Chains A and B, each alone.
Chain A
């Protein structure tokens, strides 16, 4: 319920941003890749700052002052980039988490990215916290005190580590050096986790669209020049910071930590972490069984390997003695049953005559033969002029079942030949493909593959003979159901106004595929 509310909410906000950025550059559709860009910005500027930074606790503040003031035009700018890109990274990450959850891209066999994202979340925060420590200004002193008091609540340290920051006499460099080390080590671990995070998806987008990336960098530059990042007063352990300027992205929890007993904080952190790790199974997604390969119909062309968005198919050496070099195997733990592979297989053609309509790779719970029957069934409910059959994505604006509509896990599950079949067999006067939102596909690449197949840029091509004016592609988000119906209706009206399609070769009643999947005329 809540998820649906957020899902629609995101869709609404994203439509607004579509207006400003255009769907190709919509930042909400590129949060993951923006996160990567920001990480590289932070890492690059961090290395640069390190050249000028003095790692001793007594000279650190001075060195940061020097680079911010005397060398503001390069090192100071780098410092602002370093801080503001970290802030944006936190922002981008938090929205990314909320959005992936709202889009329900975490449950079932898609759990991997989510679960590996949880340590990413912590590493981002810890990287930021250790960074603020290094400036050794009053904020750093505040961070040091609150952090060590929190850590002391754990039974790990023989001596309260907060004692390091009691007075100028107790301060020692040892702890500071540890922080310098952690501020390098933790981001490296973050990078490793970010890399693991995207291992189970194909071609994860780690580079934002160039325009969006340039905009982000220019905005950072402008802000770095106008509102440079500065230190607060130098740390002085003879005093306690009374009023501090807190970074509300990285340190937003610090005022809370100060006001709540440490036991509550640690329990809360632990509960939230485990709750997040468990979220993909709360509740578990009822998933269809994984795609199955039928070697008799597979020639090892590897189109399905290229099209599977979840890296679930691998090409291996041929095992059945057929005169091909390769075949494919499906990794059942990764397959989310999106059906995109079925749509990509050259053997997936509803025109086939074979007894059982089988193809190279298919969803056992909803094979091509059944899809053909569903399409024929849906076409029966279409009457009058301008009959539109809709192939809809379950995650888009037309995801609800309806007359004349076949809802698929992804519109890329429909092989192009199915469109050809619907029109050339006269099942409908036109076909509407209603996918998910233009800016981003639930199944990552379904939209792109569909567009490319229809544009004859990606195998399997939509045949030339299919009249394009009888095809409508809609990429609408979940909050646009009415717009979709409107556009389908006007498409129907346009079809009705066209002269009837002349090349129809209807399925004859006797030869129509019945429940047993009877043979059917070829092309």
Chain B
């Protein structure tokens, strides 16, 4: 059998236990971690948007219509897959992001998604965001610009909301 505990064990063991616990408490908040360098701001451009599928639609032929039950008869048949979306972001005249976003989902039936972090030094910046979602047309379908004076630690968010005319900046 192990020898019974002595008074000394309580004191010495108590001190060690206290030291370990205090050390753990200290490490529970320090040393601090610098997640974003001082003087930097964070720009995030993010959206979920499906490319324009209307180009893939075609009228149903008479034979096709005949094979469909009455309640499923439609004029047009469209591809369930989304075309890719192309996005670009310029900051102060420099292109910092240029991407073709494939549709999501295992077989491309989901919209394209973007979530991108861009760290910028605080100060005034010009933003130009462009997006092309229609494979039928040439060039970008949307282009929006904004100017912002970023303070250190600011979160600046660029989203794409076609209902509001394209990109929103805030």
Specify which of B32, B46, B48 is in contact with A246 (CB 8 Å cutoff).
B32
Interface residues of B in 30-49 (CB under 8 A from A): 30, 32-38, 40-42, 44, 46, 48
Specify which of A21, A83, A160, A211 is in contact with B48 (CB 8 Å cutoff).
A160
Pairwise interchain contact A219-B21, C-beta atoms closer than 8 A:
yes
Pairwise interchain contact A249-B35, C-beta atoms closer than 8 A:
no
Bound-state Cα–Cα, A142 to B115, Å: 16
Chain A residues lying within 8 Å of B14, measured Cβ to Cβ, are 215, 218-219
Specify which of A22, A149, A244, A246 is in contact with B13 (CB 8 Å cutoff).
A22
User: Which stretch in B2-10, B65-73, B83-91, B126-134 binds the other chain?
Assistant: B2-10
Contact string against A for B residues 115-145, beta-carbon threshold 8 Å, 1 for contact and 0 otherwise: 1010000000000000000000000000000
Question: Within 8 Å of chain A (Cβ to Cβ): is B1?
Answer: yes
Q: For the side of the interface on A, what is the size category? A: 35 or more
Contact string against B for A residues 427-455, beta-carbon threshold 8 Å, 1 for contact and 0 otherwise: 00000000000110000000010011001
Give how many B residues have a beta carbon under 8 Å from the other chain's beta carbons: 54
Specify which of A166, A212, A249 is in contact with B46 (CB 8 Å cutoff).
A166
Pairwise interchain contact A160-B46, C-beta atoms closer than 8 A:
yes
Interface residues of A in 180-226 (CB under 8 A from B): 209, 211-212, 215-216, 218-220, 222-223, 226
Chain B residues lying within 8 Å of A222, measured Cβ to Cβ, are 18, 21-22
Bound-state Cα–Cα, A160 to B112, Å: 11
Pairwise interchain contact B3-A242, C-beta atoms closer than 8 A:
no
Dominant secondary structure of chain B at its interface with chain A: mixed
Q: Given A21-B13, A87-B27, A223-B22, are A242 and B5 neighbors across the interface (CB < 8 Å)? A: no
User: Which stretch in A61-69, A151-159, A307-315 binds the other chain?
Assistant: A151-159
Pairwise interchain contact A84-B17, C-beta atoms closer than 8 A:
no
Question: Within 8 Å of chain B (Cβ to Cβ): is A229?
Answer: yes
Dominant secondary structure of chain A at its interface with chain B: helix
Question: Within 8 Å of chain A (Cβ to Cβ): is B157?
Answer: yes
Q: Given A84-B24, A87-B25, A227-B26, are A240 and B46 neighbors across the interface (CB < 8 Å)? A: no
* Smallest beta-carbon distance A81→chain B, Å: 11
Question: Within 8 Å of chain B (Cβ to Cβ): is A88?
Answer: yes
Interface residues of A in 208-266 (CB under 8 A from B): 209, 211-212, 215-216, 218-220, 222-223, 226-227, 229-230, 237-249, 254-255, 258
Question: Within 8 Å of chain A (Cβ to Cβ): is B29?
Answer: yes
Question: Within 8 Å of chain A (Cβ to Cβ): is B166?
Answer: no
Pairwise interchain contact A83-B28, C-beta atoms closer than 8 A:
yes
Interface residues of B in 91-117 (CB under 8 A from A): 104-106, 110, 113-115, 117
Question: Within 8 Å of chain B (Cβ to Cβ): is A51?
Answer: no
Pairwise interchain contact A24-B24, C-beta atoms closer than 8 A:
no
B residues contacting A by CB (< 8 A) are: 1-6, 8-10, 12-18, 20-22, 24-30, 32-38, 40-42, 44, 46, 48, 104-106, 110, 113-115, 117, 152-155, 157, 159, 170
Contacts A/B (CB < 8 Å), 28 sampled = A22-B2, A22-B8, A24-B4, A24-B9, A80-B25, A83-B25, A84-B21, A88-B21, A160-B115, A167-B157, A167-B170, A215-B14, A222-B22, A227-B22, A229-B25, A239-B154, A240-B36, A241-B35, A242-B38, A242-B40, A242-B152, A244-B35, A246-B33, A247-B27, A254-B33, A255-B33, A448-B1, A455-B1
